Amino acid sequence: MLLLTAAVAALATWIVEVISAAGYAGVALLMAVESACLPLPPEIIMPLAGYLAYTGRLGLALAATAGAFGCNLGSAVAISAGTSGPASPRTNQGPGVSTSAAFNLRPATFSVPQRA
């Protein structure tokens, strides 16, 4: 438990340093990293941005916009990586395959039970 506490404290310190040094760009970058499926807690990033907005170092609307922009950017990166990667061994289909095609979901494959 002590090791986990030390790791979270070190991560929180690093997040504080990044946002303090880079401002809005730091908020956007950290939220993009978090949204791209890397374990970076937004529970530390956004409250710190809110605190800096409270103290006057950041604007609240711009900090929230930077966080939202970072989230969208990170999600776009994750989606792009997922759709353009190598073929899935489960489906044996190439890149760019949609979920419905990968799981062979077509409207014709669904049947509605008839009432007696």
42 pLDDT above the threshold of 70:
yes
Which secondary-structure segment (H or E) carries 46?
A: helix 42-55
pTM above 0.95, yes or no: no
Q: What tokens were used for 7?
A: 């790791």
Q: What tokens were used for 21?
A: 């040094």
Can you count the helices (H) and strands (E) in the chain? 5, 0
pLDDT recorded at residue 78: 87
Check if the beta carbon of residue 88 is closer than 8 Å to that of residue 102.
yes
pLDDT for 88-109, tens place per residue? 555 555 555 555 554 555 555 5
* Better-scored residue on pLDDT, 94 or 74: 74
Q: What tokens were used for 68?
A: 């939202």
Residue type, 50: G
pLDDT band for position 61 (cuts 50, 70, 90): very high
